[in-house]
Amino acid sequence: MKNFKIITFISFLLILFSCEKEENIKIQNTNIDNVSIKDGRLSFQSIESLQRVYKEYADATDEKLASYLQPLYKKGFYSLRPIVTESNENFLYYHYTKNDSTMRKSNHRSQEDVFDYLDDLEDIIGDDTFSAFLNNNAEILVADKIYKYTDVGLFISNEDKYNNLLSYLDEKNVSQNIIEETPLNIKTNLFNEFPSDGINTINPDIKYFKVAPMDPDTDGGGSGAPYTPTPGSPASTDPSYNAFLNNLGSCQIQHGLFTTWFGENDVCIDKYESRRRVKTKAFNYNYLIVYHMGVKCVHQYRGWTGFWRLEATDEIRLVVEAAQFEYDLDALLGNNAINNQTREQIYYMNNQKAYFAGPNTITFNNQWGLPTITYYNLNSLPAIFQDNLSFEFFGTGIDWLDNQIQNGIDTNLEASNLNQQFYSTLYSTLSSQLQKAFGNNTQVPQNRTFVAKFPQNGKMIFQKSVALKEYNVGYSEKTFDWGAEFSFNASTSGDSGWRMSGGAGNVLVRPKNFRVKIIGAARRGDVWHGSKFNNGIN
């Protein structure tokens, strides 16, 4: 009996210690990601902490993000672009109108237009979540470094060297009010002094980062060219919606007062009433410490405060015929492991993986054999590859197009050709192989992701299609990827080389050459409003 009591007491202590330890771990993790306000800036303990918080809110609703920020606003924080909701609109109006910086940005504007400068700021810092984390001077403190975003790029200094940074900006005549454009000759001089993209060292105290803006006259630039629907792309059987699309001209993409130095930000706005509008966005933001790539359609209302905020409407549709982007890697020339895999094709759907090893060369028709089907947790794939259907080929599956890409012939042409291939020859292959793998009644989902891999060129080309239809909401959004870096396995030997299925790997890259063909539409009552545009894909 005595031994039993001793064992019971020891068990109680072990459980108590275990619970206490678990609670301490939770508290420690919470403290790691705690954000504070220091000298008017949000302060994060580390880049990893910022990235964890950002990833939690990058795709969150405005209500969730506003709830996170509201205690910070009450402590005196001012977001560069605040997250405005119906519940916090009045508070933010009085919070911002009592701030001198806000009123300086709003000089010469009427009371109703006092916050129109926020649209101009979106040209520079287009990401809604990240711009809400920056203060009204476009700054954020991470560990001991201040990141200051301007209309010519990002400047970085240690916290104790901040005055040196301000002196440098004064000396170079770079605008410190992000809404006032730096003179063009100053921008040109700075670009000539630091022509390379990425991080440049100005002096021991200051670093400079930029992503050169895309030339609108080159591939991938926003030209607002005529929008031609691609045969086989996501379609609708709704007569009113189709009639709206048939009468909708292609939108001229807006870039606003400033050209973004932090990636691509394509925006079209249909202001169909003085207080209502539909905004369609396609973006690939790179702020060095975080990035975000995706598409979005937003229905907005402007009340007496002058803020534009989300307003639920009857229906929103977001259709992306093609969103294409690339990752550059080190080429693997003459690698036997890669060459032996070039005939494989892999599909991921409904938590299943279908692996086709290659055409059966014994048959006269050179047909693909039966696939190997296995269970696969799609959440273990990189976020950018998680979709209703994802599939990866070595190449595109058509020789003449692969030759164009491998020979580097006209990158814009390859984008359009890949788009056509996606919805014609490749679509037939998809239907056939999916039915062979998952049953004759299997239909190709409209939301899908394709990656064509070219290890000999060191290139991966992604193509996504999106078809979203949502009711009684204020926005529809599809994030392709966000956070810090996209990581995958590109090993040069073994069975896992250049496969997305390898999970998190050892190669860290970011997307480039973002191209898109998109429709964003909102229905209020019986009437549709919205925009369609294409950037880099005809």
What are the pLDDT digits (tens) for 139-172? Answer: 999 999 999 999 999 999 999 999 999 999 999 9
In a domain, 1, yes or no: no
Highest mean pLDDT among 6-15, 114-123, 331-340: 114-123
In a domain, 237, yes or no: no
In a domain, 122, yes or no: yes
Percent of the chain with pLDDT over 70: 74
In a domain, 492, yes or no: yes
Which of 460, 502, 473, 529 has its CA nearest to residue 348? 502
- Structure-token pair, residue 345: 């094709």
Is residue 236 scored above 90 in pLDDT?
no
What are the pLDDT digits (tens) for 271-301? Answer: 999 999 999 999 999 999 998 999 999 999 9
Q: Are 200 and 330 part of one and the same domain?
A: no
In a domain, 397, yes or no: yes
What's the pLDDT at 253?
83
Q: Are 51 and 194 part of one and the same domain?
A: yes
> How far from 243 is each of 236, 240, 528, CA to CA, in Å?
11, 5, 9
In a domain, 374, yes or no: yes
What H or E segment, with its residue span, contains residue 38? strand 36-38
Which range of residues forms the domain containing residue 65?
38-210
pTM reported for the whole predicted model = 0.84
What's the pLDDT at 219?
41
Q: Give the residue with greater pLDDT, 173 vs 233.
A: 173
Domain boundary among 210, 235, 263: 210
Residue 39 neighbours by CB under 8 Å, 6+ apart? 141
- φ, ψ dihedrals at 60, nearest 5°: -80, 160
Q: Are 497 and 374 part of one and the same domain?
A: yes
Q: Are 59 and 185 part of one and the same domain?
A: yes
Domain boundary among 190, 210, 230: 210
What's the pLDDT at 395?
81
What's the pLDDT at 466?
95
What are the pLDDT digits (tens) for 251-270? Answer: 888 655 455 678 888 999 99
Structural domain count of the chain: 2
Q: Is 386 exposed, middle or buried (0-12, 13-18, 19+ CB in 10 A)?
A: middle
Q: Give the residue with greater pLDDT, 121 vs 361.
A: 121
What's the pLDDT at 3?
52
Q: Are 169 and 48 part of one and the same domain?
A: yes
- Structure-token pair, residue 173: 């005549």
In a domain, 146, yes or no: yes
What are the pLDDT digits (tens) for 91-110? Answer: 999 999 887 665 555 555 55
pLDDT band of 20, cuts 50, 70, 90:
very low
Domain boundary among 210, 227, 248: 210
In a domain, 344, yes or no: yes
What's the pLDDT at 197?
83
Between 79-88, 313-322, 395-404, the lowest mean confidence (pLDDT) is in 395-404
What's the pLDDT at 161?
97
Q: Give the residue with greater pLDDT, 71 vs 32.
A: 71
What are the pLDDT digits (tens) for 420-432? Answer: 777 777 888 889 8
